[in-house]
Structure 1
Amino acid sequence: MDRLEYRLWLGEENYRLLYFYESIDLPQIITRRECEFFVKDGVTYRQVSSALECDTFVIYVEEYERGRKEAEVESNGLRLEVRELDAENGHPVIATLELPSHLDVMAYIGNSFTYFHGKEWLRDSSEIDEDRKVYVLYVTATGFVIEGENNR
């Protein structure tokens, strides 16, 4: 098991410890590191960079936006929401997946393209929303339609 820290960028190579996680497994660290955004206590942070310092993984973030803390989503495992990148319409949910492991989450968020409802979607970004206990993958439609294909 490893240690993970989120550090807030204060400018000019100055950082402050925000959150730390003891005894966190490597697949979860790698999945979190793949996420450009991190949501906790109603604050959305944008990843600036990451590092491995001795036995500690570090994700450096800057504050992106503040909002209200949202309620936790009920889930039997790890939940991944796939949402269309469309702020005007509240980023509508395209698909919701219950996945057994962080490696399964990585299998989705680590790709440039995914396919749902017979359409191809281009990855924009992903986030770990600790308030709601979900991963979110933001995508945009490419316009490519898969004829006769039955996929998620």
Structure 2
Amino acid sequence: MEYRLFDEGKQFPVQYFYDRIGKPEIAMRMTCDYFVKAGQIFEKTSVAIDGGTYVIYVQPAVEEHVVDPKQKADGKTIRIELRQFQEDAAYYPVIHKYEFRDEMEALLHMQSNFLYLYGKEWEKTSAEIDEDRNVYVWYAKATELGG
């Protein structure tokens, strides 16, 4: 699997390459709108399969900033943070931390458009993988139905 910079003029250079990564993790990464690595945030532009290589095309995210860089998961499970998205906010509070041992269960959560938690319905606004913290983040707003 590769992350390539979406820059046709530079012939889409490879930014990051992952040799030993399973298909469930590739699928989870493909669901993410953002990718965080080495303090830099990239926005996904598209995904492709190029001669058997899974490719995620990214570009630097201009108006995004890293969230909680010191809160790192231990890596023993797959962590997905549900964070409350708010327009123009500098911080997105953690509503819940999901911990999964099953990659497919984590993938199904990442693919969902809605989650129901604490008597509320949460609608996904975006998702990211933050490699610096070893977590996936599911940003959402409480819907009218969910209060």
Superposed pair shares fold, TM > 0.5: yes
In the alignment of these two chains, the number of paired residues is 143
Maintained 8 Å contact 1:75/1:98: no
What RMSD, in angstroms, separates the aligned Cα atoms of the two structures? 2.1
CA distance in 2, matches of 1:78, 1:58: 22
3-state DSSP class of the match of 1:15?
coil
Bigger CA radius of gyration: 1
1:95 maps to 96
Q: What's the counterpart of residue 39 of structure 1?
A: 36
User: What are the equivalent positions in structure 2 for 1:113-152 lying under 5 Å apart?
Assistant: 113-145=114-146
Seen in structure 2, the aligned counterparts of structure 1 residues 61 and 114 have a Cα distance that, compared at 3 Å, is same
Please give the alpha-carbon distance, in whole angstroms, between the structure 2 residues aligned to 1:20 and 1:82.
27
CA contact (8 A) 2:122 2:146 kept: no
| Divergent runs of 4+, >6 A | none
Residues 76 and 98 in structure 1, CA contact (< 8 A), matched pair in contact too? no
**What is the Cα deviation at residue 105 of structure 1?**
1.6
Among 57, 60, 63, the residue aligned to 2:57: 60
1:15: which partner in 2?
12
TM-score, normalised via structure 2 length: 0.88
Identical aligned residues as a percent: 34
Is structure 2 residue 13 aligned with structure 1 residue 29?
Answer: no
For structure 1, list consecutive stretches of 5 or more residues without a partner in the other structure: 147-152
